[in-house]
Amino acid sequence: MLTTYLNTLPYTKFVLIEDSVTAKGGEILEYLLKNHENKQDYRTHLFVFERNFNQIKNKHPGSECHDFTSDLRNWMSLTTSDMETVISNLEENCVVVIDSLVHVLYRYGLLGAYQTFTDIKNKKNVQQIITVLHTDLLEDRDKVIQYFQHLSTLHMELQPKRVLYTYKKSQRKIIKQLEEYYCDSGKFITQPIKKPDKDVIRETVEQINPENMSTFKIGLSEKDKESRSNLVLPYLPKETNSSDGKIHYAFDDIDDWDEEDPDDDLDI
């Protein structure tokens, strides 16, 4: 189950959520964030790259928010945070949530983003990194996804109503599964995909009687079947009881009758 893998201690190091317009990952991120905010033994750092910073800050009083939306290029000389300094200042035990990875890629380039994430991942005090990758905003989608999958330890690919995840449990064990998910009042619930029972399918199929669905008669009654079996078709050999003639052959003296069937070896 995906939720158990997400919540087991020690936390898996790098959670990568791959979402798209058809299957959005916002609710899952929100759920994970809420989960971490309730914990006392570490701080949660939220790197905000999308949406209104103040709204998000008010929504998440439990986590330390870093503003990357207001003045990303430092044009207005607001003293907003710089990603590198924030990361190098992460000293105590913490969880890092970055929303979203695409913006880091835009800002720092592929190599820069990858190096940043490797840096955070290699920090011992960071318990977990969580990030969302909006796949439909990427230029070279497959490659970027491949690189970050390589780095991630738990990678979730969201599809409508389903999530395909790869969990690198340890050095040796990898779990890859497809599960159903839904979000219910801030909770993220996954369950294995239920396969419909074979007996149920058979029963429902049997219940459907084509006889009732048409305005004309499709089947045959017992009487119809009997008369059908008694019908003699014109091309079939007719059984005749009248014995009009038979061939009687009397052997001549010179006839050399072979007892054996000449076609015996044909095995017909």
Joined together, the tokens standing for residue 172 give 């040796």
CA distance 99 to 30: 10
**Maximal C-alpha separation, the chain:** 134
Q: Rounded to the nearest whole angstrom, what is the least distance from the CB of residue 67 to another protein in the complex?
A: 23
Residue in 41, 91, 139, 244 binding another protein, rule: CB under 8 A: 139
Binding residues among 161-220 for another protein as defined by CB under 8 A:
166, 168, 171-176
Residue in 112, 137, 164, 189 binding another protein, rule: CB under 8 A: 112
Q: Report how far apart the first and last C-alpha atoms of the chain are (Å, whole number).
A: 66
Query: Binding to another protein by residue 243, rule CB under 8 A?
Result: no
Residues in the interface with another protein (CB under 8 A) total 28
Cβ-based neighbour number of residue 28 at 10 Å: 24
Binding residues among 22-61 for another protein as defined by CB under 8 A:
none
Q: What Cα–Cα distance (Å) separates residue 113 from each residue in 1, 7, 120, 175, 179? A: 30, 26, 11, 26, 30
Query: Binding to another protein by residue 109, rule CB under 8 A?
Result: yes
Query: Binding to another protein by residue 74, rule CB under 8 A?
Result: no
Query: Binding to another protein by residue 141, rule CB under 8 A?
Result: no
Residue 160 CA to chain centroid, in angstroms? Answer: 9
Task: Quickly tell me which residue has 């969302």 as its tokens.
Answer: 132
Question: Which amino acid, residue 54?
Answer: N
3-state SS assignment for residue 168: strand
**Between 140 and 224, CB nearer to another protein:** 140
CA distance 92 to 95: 10
Residue in 52, 88, 118, 191 binding another protein, rule: CB under 8 A: 118
**Between 254 and 268, CB nearer to another protein:** 268
DSSP 149: H
Q: Rounded to the nearest whole angstrom, what is the least distance from the CB of residue 15 to another protein in the complex?
A: 16
- The site string for another protein over 219-238 (x = CB under 8 A, - otherwise) reads --------------------
- Strands 64-67 and 43-48 turn out to be parallel
Binding part of the chain for another protein, among 29-37, 49-57, 233-241, 259-267 by CB under 8 A, reads 259-267
CA distance 157 to 141: 13
**Between 171 and 221, CB nearer to another protein:** 171
Residue in 73, 85, 150, 223 binding another protein, rule: CB under 8 A: 150
Question: What element of type H or E holds 55?
Answer: helix 53-59
Binding part of the chain for another protein, among 1-9, 42-50, 81-89, 103-111 by CB under 8 A, reads 103-111
**What is the contact surface with another protein in residues (CB under 8 A)?**
108-112, 114-115, 118, 122, 139-140, 143, 146-147, 150-151, 166, 168, 171-176, 265-268
